[in-house]
C-alpha cells in the first residue's frame, strides 16, 4: 500500500503543482575563494541544551581561508554575547 500511495503522489499533477519547495539551491563551485583570514566566516548557534556550568548554547564558527573551526560555550544568545564571543574567542585563534 505504501508503494501505491508513493506512486500516486509522484504521478499526481495537482500534487506536484501544490508541493511547496522550501530549499534554496545554490550553484556549486560558484564561490570565489577568500584571499585572507576572516574575509569569509561561517557561524552557527546550537542550543538550547541542558545547562553545563551555566552554559546552554554553543557558538560554532569556522574561517573559510584557514579552515580553523572553533566552538565556544555561551550563557545566552543575545547580540552582545555573540559579538563578544566572536571578537574575544574566535578572532584571536582563527
Give 40-92 pLDDT, tens digit per residue.
888 999 988 898 899 999 999 998 898 889 899 999 999 999 888 888 876 65
Residue 75 in any domain: the answer is yes
Residue 26 in any domain: the answer is no
Residue 76 in any domain: the answer is yes
Residue 80 in any domain: the answer is yes
Alpha carbons 74 and 56: distance in angstroms, whole number: 6
CATH of the domain at 52: 3.30.420.10
Q: What is the pLDDT of residue 94?
A: 47
Residue 61 in any domain: the answer is yes
HSE-up of residue 53 (Cα within 13 Å, Cβ side): 3
Q: What is the pLDDT of residue 79?
A: 92
9 band by pLDDT with thresholds 50, 70 and 90: confident
Domain that holds residue 58: 36-90
Alpha carbons 1 and 4: distance in angstroms, whole number: 5
Contact criterion met (CB below 8 Å) for 78 and 57: no
Residue 16 in any domain: the answer is no
* Structural domain count of the chain: 1
Amino acid at each position: 500500500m505504501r508503494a501505491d500511495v508513493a506512486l500516486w503522489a509522484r504521478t499526481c499533477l495537482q500534487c506536484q503543482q501544490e508541493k511547496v519547495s522550501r530549499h534554496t539551491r545554490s550553484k556549486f563551485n560558484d564561490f570565489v575563494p577568500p584571499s585572507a583570514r576572516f574575509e569569509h566566516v561561517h557561524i552557527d548557534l546550537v542550543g538550547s541544551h541542558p545547562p553545563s556550568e551555566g552554559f546552554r548554547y554553543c557558538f560554532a564558527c569556522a574561517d573559510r581561508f584557514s579552515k580553523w573551526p572553533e566552538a565556544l560555550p555561551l550563557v545566552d544568545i543575545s547580540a552582545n554575547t555573540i559579538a563578544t564571543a566572536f571578537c574575544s574567542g574566535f578572532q584571536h585563534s582563527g
